[in-house]
Every structure is written in structure tokens, then in C-alpha cells.
């Protein structure tokens, strides 16, 4: 195992262990080995250092690519502080973030050019470099020449505990939380993740989520490279199926919306072939055989697996709770889904279900070196999740915000959950989302939203409290699936759904009313609904 403490050590050990193995694909026949990656990070870092960017703050923004990863690794390993930015930000938001984090140079991909052109006239001190153009390639070539004249970059030793990564978490307003991470935070998180999955040089990770998000960079770049696995990139969301067939990956880190998209595609294909009854029957038969440790799911559903490349063996899922129906359907088809839990502030993983254990609905057990406790429990054992471990952030950029989350060495996540008798963690919701019922009971809207989402006509839902004559009533705000938007009597269908739900819930959890929303709810880069 690559037991490094800094990114520089991590890249050196990867080079020593897997020099000629494929590290990162640009395309199926265009890739760099670990030796290539190791050398190119040094060349690029040499250029940046030679131009005076030592200890500077360097931003990267744009679509997932080899150049995006090269920039990040070069800066963190040898140069200064990397500031990964969300490519969905508006020009105004990008400008605000650049000012807040005092960025000196920003590397962007061509798809960001229109936005960059808008802001570049406003902030004159910042240098802008298109990663897809000749200037970026020339930087590497010049860096290579400088490196072989004086290999000063090899002598650089950066502390594993110093600030190396700045991440914006809660939007981009003046009150946004900016997370400070060290190299050790991410490296150690990836190291401990490797113990949950038997990864090796035969594995290929398919990167689909935005790389600026710590979940994707830690889990789909650092973790695989640490084990000698390779990384490839999805060209676009609409090309998922095409790219999966091309690269034939073994691992995809997902969020629930991606798996919902995949499951919907499978169901539509099965329906078009009029094989719904056959598939459902075979799921039941293969589930029964599992009780006798006979697993023939991949053989039985080989044609479905082949549509997704044919080699998928691990599908970790995080960032939000996965719908039970989606989880059970994909598991029934022989896809291995492992739910996990974490935050940007924890680099990001705290718990995950490993390949040698399975519990539906649980997000697994704590990683090695990670401590988790539940505090301020209610009568059902549900309380706030607090954590300690090498992956916990250095703190927020705004020091005053740290007092809210750090107490006696523990990080208070703001999430609610509980452990079962076997030590498996379950997430209930966010503290700030809890609704206090008229009788004083806690209502977790995520629990109700999950139940409502199981109905086929519901695309998205948020449950909110509405004050009526000084009493709190629950209202379901529903976005309908497209094919139900113009259906007659849809209001009656929703009312029947609510009546059915309420019949199985205590009175204080009853849904009193509903609103049909015309537009989908705004979402984060990992496709979570922005509740507020």
C-alpha cells in the first residue's frame, strides 16, 4: 500500500510501484503512465515556481480532464495552495470567489472561456490560462527544459499539515464557508479508503462527478492512483452509456441522481423489449440463490451489464441518501452498491460500506483511524454525528465559524444519525432541517421525502412546515415526472398518495397539503437539492 503523507511522496511511490501502468486516460488510446504523470507534475511545477508562484493561490475550473488533475497535483505537491472551483458558478460568483481567496492565477478549460472573458476585464492582477490551448502545453515544455538545467523542485519539502487546498462549500456569498484542507487530510482519507475495497492495477475508475468536489477528487483520483488503478473521464452526462462501453470501467463513484438515471435507462430498455416480468422473476430467483451463497446475477443479467461496459464490480454512492427502490433494483440486477457518508470538511469520507459487508440503508462503519459518536440523542437514539480523524479539516477560512463546529477536539457535523447494535451508521437528516411538531416531537423531512419519492409520478419533493393559525402543518412540494405533468386528475392521484402515506404514519407526521412545482429545485454540483 502507498503509505504516503504528502502528494509529492504519493506520486513518487506510485512511480516506484507502477511506473509503466496506465495512470490517467485522455482517451481510450491516449493515456499517461504513472511515470509520465510523475514527471509532468514536476515539469509543470518547475515552470510555476520559476515564474514566482511559490506559496501562491492557484485556481482551477472546468470540465473533468487530465489537465485539470495535472494542475491540481502539480500545485499541491510542489507549489502552493490549490483553489478548485465549481464550473457552474456564474461570472459574478467566480469573480467573488477569486477575490475572497486572493487567487493569483486561474487555469480554465475551453468550455469556461465565455465566463472567463466576462470577468477577466474586472480583475486585472489575475493571470488566466486556458488548459486546452498551446500556452498550457508551452508551460510544460518550458518547465521541462528548466527542470533538467536545475532539478531544484526535487529538493522541495512541503509540510503535510499546512494549508494546501481551499474549498468553497455553501454557495459563494460573503457568508460562504471556505474549508481549509491539508495534503495529509486527503492522502490519509484515500489511504484508509483502500482498505475497504480490494483495488489493484486491473481496476479502472470512471470519473463522472465534478472534480472540484472533494468526494470526486479523493475517491475517483487519489484513491485509485494510490492502488495503481487507472482513471478515465466521462465526456458528458448524456454520453455516460457510450463512454462506459468504451472504457469498460470497474468502479464508478456516484451520487443518487446518477444511479437514478442509470436505473431509469435500464427500466426503459427492459420495458421496450417487453421483458419486465421476466427480469423481475429472475431477480427473485437469483435473490433466493444468494441465500445459499450462489451468485449468478452477472451471468443472468449479462446483457444489462454489457450496456454499462460489462466490468463494473464496485459502485460507491454518497452525497445524499439513495432511494430504496433504486438500491434494491440495481442490487437485484447484480450491481454492487456501497453507500457511504462524509462531508467536504472531512476530505470527505467518514464511513462507507465495504465489499465484505452489506446492510441496506446503512452508510457503513467508520474508516480506520476515524472515531464517530452520536451526541444529544433523543428517545429513539437519534442525535448529532460528531467525528475525529486525520481527514478532519484544518478549519474554516473564517476563524469565527470554527467555534460552531469544533468542541473539545471533535468536529460537529450538523447531521443526525444513529448506530445500530452492530456499529453501522444510519443517516436521518440535517439538524437545521428538523421540524418541531405541535406536540414537541421531531420530524425529519428527509424521511417523509424518501417515502414520497417512491411513487412513480414524483420526480423531486421537499417537505416544509407552514404555519396556519399558530400551528405547524406539513406541506409536500412536488415536481412531477414529465409524463405525468399533463395527466388529468393528477391532483386526485397525489391526494390518494398522501392519504395512503398518512395511514401508516403517526398523526404529528401527517402531510396536510401539497404544492405542484413547475420547475425542478436548484441543485448543487453533486446534484443535491438546495433545500433553502
The full 3-state SS of 148-187, as one line of letters, equals HHCCHHHHCCCCCCCEEEEEECCCCCCCCCEEEEEHHHHH
For residue 486, how many C-alpha atoms fall within 13 Å in the half-sphere facing its CB? Answer: 2
Q: Are 443 and 434 in contact (CB under 8 A)?
A: yes
Please give the residue range of the domain that contains residue 482. 434-517
Distance CA(454)–CA(448), nearest Å, equals 10
Q: How many distinct structural domains can be found in the chain?
A: 2
Domain at 226, CATH number: 3.40.50.12780
For 114, half-sphere exposure in the C-beta direction (CA atoms, 13 angstrom radius) is 5
Residue 178 domain-assigned (yes or no): no
Q: Which of 252, 287, 319 is the last residue of a domain?
A: 252
Query: Is the separation of the CB atoms in 56 and 80 below 8 Å?
Result: yes
- Asked whether residue 66 is domain-assigned, the answer is yes
Q: How far apart are CA 370 and CA 420, in angstroms?
A: 18
pLDDT, one tens digit per residue, over 296-323 is 999 999 999 999 999 999 999 987 778 8
97 vs 163: CA distance, rounded Å: 17
What's the grid cell of residue 383? 442525535
Q: Does 119 fall in a domain?
A: yes
Is residue 102 within 8 Å of residue 57, measured between CB atoms? yes
Per DSSP, helices labelled H in 102-160 are: 113-119, 134-149
Residue 288 in 3-state DSSP?
Answer: helix
Query: Please, what is the angle between helix 276-290 and helix 256-272, to 10°?
Result: 120
Residue that terminates a domain, selected from 225, 252, 279: 252
H/E element holding 204? strand 204-207
470: CB partners within 8 A, 6+ apart: none
406 is a domain residue = no
Helices (H), 274-346: 276-290, 297-300, 302-306, 324-332
234 found inside a domain: yes
> Do the domain assignments include residue 294?
no
| Residue 68 falls inside a structural domain | yes
CA distance 293 to 305: 21
DSSP codes, 240-262: HHHHHHHH--SEE-B-HHHHHHH
Boundary-marking domain end, from 210, 227, 252: 252
Conformation bin of residue 127: beta by default, left when phi > 0, alpha when psi is -120 to 50: beta
Burial degree of 254 (CB within 10 A; 0-12, 13-18, 19+): buried
DSSP state of 7: H
Terminal C-alpha separation, the chain? 42
User: Quick one: cell of 458?
Assistant: 414524483
Query: CATH no. for residue 499?
Result: 3.30.300.30
- Closest to 319 in 3D by CA, of 298, 295, 339: 339
Place of cell 423531486: 460
Nearest to 208 by CA among 116, 340, 319, 365: 319
In a domain, 114, yes or no: yes
| pLDDT by position in tens, the chain (length 532) | 567 899 999 999 999 999 999 999 999 999 999 999 999 999 999 999 999 999 999 999 999 999 999 999 999 999 999 999 999 888 888 888 888 889 999 999 999 999 999 886 666 688 999 999 999 999 999 999 999 998 999 999 999 999 999 998 754 334 568 899 999 999 999 999 988 888 999 999 999 999 999 999 999 999 999 999 999 999 988 888 899 999 999 999 998 888 988 998 899 898 888 998 998 999 999 989 988 989 999 999 999 999 999 999 999 998 777 888 888 899 999 999 999 999 999 999 999 987 777 777 889 999 999 999 999 998 888 899 999 999 999 999 888 888 889 999 999 998 999 999 999 999 888 887 777 666 556 777 888 888 888 888 888 888 888 876 666 788 888 889 888 888 888 888 888 888 888 888 878 788 888 888 888 888 776 667 776 6
Amino acid at each position: 500500500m502507498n503509505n504516503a503523507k504528502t502528494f509529492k511522496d504519493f506520486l513518487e511511490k506510485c512511480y516506484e510501484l507502477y511506473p509503466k501502468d496506465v495512470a490517467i486516460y485522455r482517451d481510450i488510446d491516449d493515456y499517461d503512465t504513472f511515470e509520465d504523470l510523475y514527471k509532468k507534475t514536476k515539469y509543470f511545477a518547475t515552470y510555476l515556481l520559476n515564474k514566482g508562484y511559490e506559496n501562491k493561490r492557484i485556481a482551477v475550473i472546468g470540465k473533468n480532464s487530465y489537465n485539470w488533475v495535472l494542475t491540481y497535483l502539480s500545485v499541491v505537491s510542489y507549489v502552493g495552495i490549490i483553489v478548485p472551483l465549481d464550473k457552474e458558478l456564474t461570472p459574478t460568483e467566480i469573480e467573488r470567489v477569486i477575490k475572497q481567496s486572493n487567487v493569483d492565477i486561474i487555469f480554465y478549460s475551453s468550455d469556461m472561456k465565455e465566463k472567463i472573458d466576462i470577468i477577466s476585464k474586472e480583475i486585472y492582477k489575475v493571470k488566466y490560462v486556458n488548459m486546452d490551448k498551446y500556452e498550457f502545453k508551452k508551460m510544460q515544455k518550458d518547465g521541462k527544459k528548466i527542470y533538467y538545467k536545475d532539478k531544484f523542485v526535487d529538493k522541495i519539502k512541503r509540510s503535510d499539515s499546512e494549508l494546501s487546498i481551499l474549498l468553497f462549500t455553501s454557495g459563494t456569498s460573503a457568508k460562504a464557508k471556505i474549508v481549509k484542507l491539508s495534503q495529509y487530510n486527503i492522502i490519509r482519507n484515500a489511504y484508509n479508503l483502500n482498505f475497504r475495497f480490494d483495488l489493484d492495477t486491473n481496476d479502472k475508475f470512471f470519473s463522472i462527478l465534478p472534480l472540484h468536489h472533494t468526494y470526486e477528487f479523493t475517491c475517483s483520483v487519489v484513491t485509485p492512483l494510490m492502488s495503481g488503478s487507472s482513471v478515465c473521464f466521462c465526456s458528458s452526462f448524456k454520453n455516460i452509456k457510450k463512454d462506459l462501453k468504451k472504457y469498460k470501467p470497474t468502479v464508478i463513484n456516484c451520487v443518487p441522481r446518477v444511479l437514478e438515471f442509470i436505473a431509469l435507462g435500464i427500466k426503459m430498455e427492459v420495458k421496450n423489449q417487453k421483458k419486465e416480468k421476466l427480469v423481475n422473476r429472475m431477480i427473485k430467483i437469483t435473490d433466493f440463490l444468494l441465500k445459499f451463497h450462489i451468485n449468478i446475477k452477472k451471468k443472468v443479467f449479462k446483457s444489462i451489464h454489457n450496456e454499462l461496459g460489462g466490468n463494473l464490480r464496485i459502485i460507491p454512492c454518497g452525497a445524499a441518501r439513495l432511494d430504496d427502490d433504486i438500491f434494491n433494483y440495481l442490487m437485484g440486477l447484480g450491481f454492487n452498491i456501497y453507500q457511504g457518508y462524509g462531508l467536504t470538511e472531512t476530505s470527505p469520507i467518514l464511513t462507507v460500506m465495504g465489499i465484505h459487508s452489506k446492510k441496506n440503508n446503512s452508510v457503513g462503519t467508520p474508516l480506520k483511524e476515524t472515531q464517530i459518536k452520536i451526541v444529544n440523542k433523543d428517545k429513539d437514539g437519534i442525535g448529532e454525528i460528531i467525528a475525529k480523524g486525520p481527514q478532519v479539516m484544518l478549519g474554516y477560512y473564517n476563524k469565527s465559524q470554527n467555534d460552531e463546529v469544533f468542541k473539545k477536539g471533535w468536529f460537529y457535523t450538523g447531521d443526525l444519525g444513529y448506530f445500530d447494535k452492530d456499529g453501522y451508521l444510519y443517516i436521518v437528516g440535517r439538524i437545521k432541517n428538523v421540524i418541531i411538531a405541535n406536540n414537541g416531537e421531531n420530524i425529519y423531512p428527509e424521511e417523509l421525502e424518501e417515502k414520497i419519492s417512491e411513487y412513480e409520478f414524483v420526480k423531486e419533493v421537499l417537505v416544509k412546515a407552514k404555519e396556519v393559525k399558530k400551528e405547524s402543518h406539513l406541506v409536500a412540494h412536488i415536481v412531477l415526472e414529465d409524463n405525468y405533468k399533463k395527466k388529468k386528475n393528477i391532483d386526485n392521484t397525489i391526494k390518494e398518495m398522501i392519504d395512503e402515506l398518512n395511514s401508516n404514519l403517526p398523526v404529528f407526521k401527517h402531510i396536510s397539503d401539497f404544492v405542484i412545482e413547475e420547475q425542478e429545485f436548484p441543485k448543487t454540483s453533486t446534484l443535491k437539492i438546495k433545500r433553502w
